């Protein structure tokens, strides 16, 4: 009977072992937390080739300790390799540990931080492959001069060979421009003014969209400009907005989109969309996602040829995987056809033999014009400039119905003493845009007002969107925000204005400087160090003064061989010298020896610099009156108890809060609706912001308009989002491409910006708040100087308090010394003080019979005191000596003590 459980145990172990083996080996993955698509791509690839995955998420860039921990955890789990999606220094750290453990390391990021002896496979094409294809393209285009644009802190290895084209042996002029920060327009404008028209752009795919947008905004997307983009992700973006400007854009693509030739791509796309809930087309997938799939396929192809056994490794005992180097060698030498075509590596793990499609942007869309294969450039057609399409515009002589809204400054009723009819009734920014478009494209138009911009509700579309969908209007233009919801029902033109949501709030009254604002000249840290260094320097001066023999002086100059020497550098005197220097007042303490003088001189120089810095900045802190904002960010506004806030009841601003996933924005929306803080239109919101404790959320362009006319309003903080205004039209409108082309033409010529300046800063009260008035020279009032008076008063009171304590202590000592009462001594002291009779004070007092003890006893006590005083002066106990001005221990004090003794009366 005992054999039955044993047999069952063996059977279950065998079954579970078979299940575990059937699941396949484990592939590790290390990605950043925001790289969700890469993680899904690894999961999809692993399922395709029957692998299991273990994915680690790195919280932030530069987290070296976290990355090391994750690599060791993956090794302990028994992975057969690590797919690395981090790049940069993080990849270098991963590779160092993989080298030690002999774990295959596959990187999908472009990375130049590698050594020849690294055991790594880089799925990205090598820098040499990029350099070769780019050089051939430049030679084919016959560019004699070009500019390399690259992102700051991004490696230029992929274009390094192009810089050699500018040496003496090549007839090329090569310039380089660095794009830094979040705004590339300044660099692009500079390149435009210098006459540069040909550009090679090397930047990560995440920066492409912003770079293209800024290039369009500065007028560098015209037919005279040509670009070659290094990133293979250029044509994964929506390029429709740039198609009609005539710009020549050339890019690379690593995948074959032919469905029959690349079935893996379509299967991967379908599975990826199912896992993520997205609806991406195959040509929209980023290259890194496809490289993750190919990395898994390389592992699968190598395991088919070599049998490996996974092993749990440990970073602590430095044990290497027995099969690691063998597996990696097969991965390097094995030829695999992946989604990104042939995966061939050299001995260093670089992917040098790469196939690219050469694509170009045309008015008809993306077009393949050639290929790079077997290290040769093969062009299917010659590169020629796009000829202007001679076609009669579809809008010529047509009359379009255009929906507008009366929303300043986009649309106004025209001010006139006469009754106006038709289009003459309206004026404004968008009215001028339609008028200019009609001049360019040759169409006529009729305006019709519509207050509701349109949205998708329970009963279907409303407002402008409904009218466009039902062909009741041809165009709609106003502050018409391009939202994802609206784009489901209608089309928009290329944006004519980019904006975001801002906060409008009344300008707070200026607050006078704080009472102790003069203390704010230096930071707390500086004040702390000033106090600390004075104490430390005081101790240093005592030490230096005591070891310098010249500082030990004869207290009685008339005696050639004194029994005692005095030193002036007591702690009190040293601190007094230091403080006097800081206050620029000096002191009676004068160093004699060289070392104390040197230290004192350096200290004087230091105080000169500090005082000059303090005085130079002090005036600003005393006279500047600051605006104290009750909030500076949305979070602070949300947590504020006494300020209400809101937006328009209908529009994209309210929709932004309603659909936001942020807990703060959701909470703000609930409070707006619950408390009735939403308003009907912008004018009401602006009035509330001006007269109440109310913050109004509105689009930045409208906010800028109202700021020009209401000088007591301002924008608080930055923009909450980014969006655009466009001209609405029905889906598949035949007018779209012509309107897009005309709008781009107007942008490039700066016409839209001129119109904006007219309606924002000139007409209808614009520019009112831009006027500057000369102010009288500001005087310092008592509110500015109150702090200095307070310091003076408090310091004087503290000094008075200390002097009273000192007096009481002296009274107490005399009462003990002369066996009198404390009250009697205090009264005698006060009598002398209130007389204000010079600076000489007698030692003996009048006889008081009521006190305990006789006259003889008191005289005897004072006689003993005289003898004790004389003895103490002649004593050789050096620890009781003091500075020469001390009344008890100097020769002058001795003479005064005996000369001024008064007799009893």
Which residues make up each annotated binding site for L-glutamate?
481, 486, 652-653, 699
β-pairing verdict for 26-32 and 52-58: parallel
| Cis bond before residue 88 (omega within 30° of 0) | no
DSSP 477-532: -SS-B--HHHHHHSEE-S-SEEE-EEEEEEPPPEEPPPTTGGGGGS-HHHHHHHHH
Query: Which positions ≥6 away from 628 have C-beta within 8 Å?
Result: 508, 511
How far is Cα 395 from Cα 392, in angstroms, rounded to an integer? 8
Q: 500: which 2 tokens? A: 């975001």
CB 756 within 8 A of CB 429: yes
Strands 341-343 and 644-646: unpaired
Burial class (CB in 10 A: 0-12, 13-18, 19+), 742: buried
Angle value at C-alpha 527, between 523 and 532, nearest 5 degrees = 145
Residues 834, 838, 841: CA angle, nearest 5 degrees: 80
Rounded distance between C-alpha atoms, residue 237 and residue 213, angstroms: 12
Q: How many CA atoms lie within 13 A of 615 on its CB side?
A: 9
For residue 794, CA distances in Å to 576, 580, 797 come to: 20, 19, 5
Rounded CA gap, 324 and 119, in Å? 10
How do beta strands 336-338 and 341-343 pair? antiparallel
* Cα 467 versus chain centre, distance: 44
Alpha carbon separation from 863 to 455, 624, 851, 868 (Å, rounded)? 109, 67, 19, 8
The answer to whether 492 and 726 have CB atoms below 8 angstroms apart is: yes
Structure tokens at 558: 């008339």
Task: Kindly give, in sequence order, each residue whose CB lies less than 8 Å from that of residue 294, ignoring residues fewer than 6 positions away.
Answer: 123, 336, 338, 339, 340, 343
User: Residues with Cβ < 8 Å from 706, sequence gap 6 or more?
Assistant: 504, 682, 686, 698, 713
Which residues fall within 8 angstroms of residue 313, CB to CB, at 6 or more apart?
75, 76, 78, 101, 103, 319, 320, 321
Report helix, strand or coil for 346: coil
Q: How far is Cα 154 from Cα 133, in angstroms, rounded to an integer?
A: 20
Place of tokens 């905004």: 217
Residues 491/736, Cβ–Cβ less than 8 Å: yes
Please report, in range form, the residues annotated as the binding site. 481, 486, 652-653, 699
Q: Evaluate whether 357 touches 253 at the Cβ level (below 8 Å).
A: yes
Nearest one of 107, 102, 111 to 122, comparing CA atoms: 107
Q: Which H helix or E strand runs over 650?
A: none
304: left (phi over 0), alpha (psi -120 to 50) or beta: alpha
Count CB atoms within 10 A of the CB of residue 595: 16
As a whole number of angstroms, the distance between CA 695 and CA 826 comes to 67
Give me 431's structure tokens.
């009215």
Which of these, 321, 304, 325, lies nearest to 78 by C-alpha position? 321
């Amino acid at each position: 009977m005992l054999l039955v459980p044993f047999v069952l145990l063996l059977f279950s172990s065998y079954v579970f072992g078979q299940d575990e083996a059937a699941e396949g080996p484990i592939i590790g993955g290390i990605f950043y937390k925001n790289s969700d698509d890469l993680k899904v791509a690894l999961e999809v690839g692993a399922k395709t080739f029957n692998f299991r995955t273990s994915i680690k998420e790195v919280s932030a860039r530069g987290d070296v300790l976290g990355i090391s921990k994750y690599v060791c955890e993956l090794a302990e789990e028994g992975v057969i390799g690590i797919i690395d999606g981090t790049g940069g220094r993080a990849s270098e750290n991963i590779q160092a540990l993989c080298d030690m453990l002999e774990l295959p390391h596959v990187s999908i990021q472009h990375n130049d931080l590698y050594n020849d002896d690294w055991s790594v496979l880089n799925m990205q094409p090598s820098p040499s492959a990029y350099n070769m294809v780019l050089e051939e393209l430049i030679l084919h285009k016959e560019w004699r001069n070009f500019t390399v644009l690259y992102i700051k802190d991004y490696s230029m290895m992929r274009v390094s060979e192009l810089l050699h084209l500018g040496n003496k042996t090549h007839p090329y002029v090569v310039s380089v421009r660095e794009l830094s920060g979040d705004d590339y327009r300044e660099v692009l404008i500079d390149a435009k003014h210098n006459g540069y028209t040909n550009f090679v752009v090397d930047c990560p795919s995440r920066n492409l969209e912003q770079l293209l947008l800024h290039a369009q905004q500065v007028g560098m997307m015209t037919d005279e400009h040509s670009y070659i983009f290094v990133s293979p992700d250029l044509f994964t973006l929506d390029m429709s907005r740039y198609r009609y400007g005539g710009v020549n854009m050339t890019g690379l693509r690593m995948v074959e989109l032919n469905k029959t030739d690349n079935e893996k791509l379509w299967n991967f796309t379908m599975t990826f969309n199912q896992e993520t809930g997205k609806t991406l087309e195959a040509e929209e997938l980023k290259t890194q996602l496809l490289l993750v799939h190919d990395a898994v396929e390389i592992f699968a192809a190598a395991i088919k040829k070599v049998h490996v056994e996974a092993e749990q490794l440990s970073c602590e005992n430095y044990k290497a995987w027995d099969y690691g180097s063998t597996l990696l060698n097969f991965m390097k030498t094995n030829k695999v056809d992946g989604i990104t075509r042939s995966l061939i590596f050299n001995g260093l793990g670089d992917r040098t033999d790469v196939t690219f499609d050469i694509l170009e942007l045309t008015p008809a869309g993306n077009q393949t014009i050639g290929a790079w294969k077997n290290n040769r450039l093969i062009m299917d057609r010659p590169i020629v400039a796009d000829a202007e399409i001679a076609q009669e515009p579809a809008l010529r002589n047509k009359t379009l119905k255009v929906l507008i809204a009366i929303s300043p400054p986009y649309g106004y009723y025209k001010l006139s003493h006469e009754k106006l009819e038709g289009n003459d009734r309206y004026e404004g920014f968008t009215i001028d845009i339609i008028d200019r478009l009609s001049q360019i494209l040759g169409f006529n138009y009729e305006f019709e007002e519509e207050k509701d911009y349109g949205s998708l509700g329970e009963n279907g579309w409303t407002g402008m969107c409904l009218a466009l969908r039902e062909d009741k209007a041809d165009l709609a233009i106003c502050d018409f925000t391009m939202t994802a919801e609206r784009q489901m029902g209608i089309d928009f033109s290329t944006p004519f204005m980019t904006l975001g949501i801002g906060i409008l709030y009344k300008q707070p009254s200026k607050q006078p400087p704080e009472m102790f604002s003069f203390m704010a000249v230096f930071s707390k840290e500086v004040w702390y160090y000033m106090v600390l260094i004075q104490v430390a320097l005081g101790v240093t001066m005592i030490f230096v003064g005591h070891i310098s023999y010249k500082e030990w002086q004869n207290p009685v100059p008339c005696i050639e061989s004194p029994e005692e020497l005095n030193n002036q550098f007591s702690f009190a005197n040293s601190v007094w010298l230091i403080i006097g220097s800081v206050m620029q007042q000096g002191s009676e303490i004068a160093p004699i020896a060289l070392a104390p003088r040197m230290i004192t001189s350096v200290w004087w120089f230091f105080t000169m610099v500090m005082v000059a810095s303090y005085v130079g900045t002090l005036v600003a802190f005393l006279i500047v009156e600051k605006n104290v904002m009750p909030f500076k960010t949305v979070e602070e506004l949300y947590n504020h108890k006494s300020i209400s806030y809101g937006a328009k009841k209908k529009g994209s601003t309210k929709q932004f809060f309603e659909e936001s996933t942020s807990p703060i924005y959701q909470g703000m929306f609930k409070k707006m609706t619950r408390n009735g803080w939403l308003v009907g239109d912008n004018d009401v919101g602006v009035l509330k912001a001006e007269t109440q404790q109310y913050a109004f959320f509105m689009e930045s362009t409208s906010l800028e308009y109202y700021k020009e006319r209401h000088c007591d309003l301002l924008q608080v903080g930055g923009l909450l989002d980014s969006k655009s205004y466009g001209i609405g039209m029905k889906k598949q409108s035949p007018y779209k491409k012509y309107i897009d082309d005309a709008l781009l033409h107007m942008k490039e010529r700066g016409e839209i910006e001129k119109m904006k300046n007219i309606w924002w800063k000139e007409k209808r009260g614009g520019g009112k708040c831009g006027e500057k008035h000369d102010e009288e020279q500001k005087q310092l009032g008592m509110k500015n100087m109150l702090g200095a008076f307070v310091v003076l008063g408090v310091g004087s009171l503290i000094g008075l308090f200390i002097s009273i304590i000192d007096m009481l202590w002296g009274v107490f000592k005399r009462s003990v010394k002369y066996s009198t009462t404390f009250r009697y001594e205090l009264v005698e002291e006060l009598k002398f003080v209130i007389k204000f009779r010079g600076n000489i004070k007698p030692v003996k007092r009048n006889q008081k019979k009521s006190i305990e003890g006789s006259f003889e006893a008191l005289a005897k006590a004072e006689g003993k005191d005289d003898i004790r005083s004389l003895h103490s002066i002649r004593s050789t106990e050096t620890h009781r000596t003091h500075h020469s001005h001390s009344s008890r221990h100097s020769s002058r004090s001795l003479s005064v003590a005996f000369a001024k003794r008064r007799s009893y009366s």
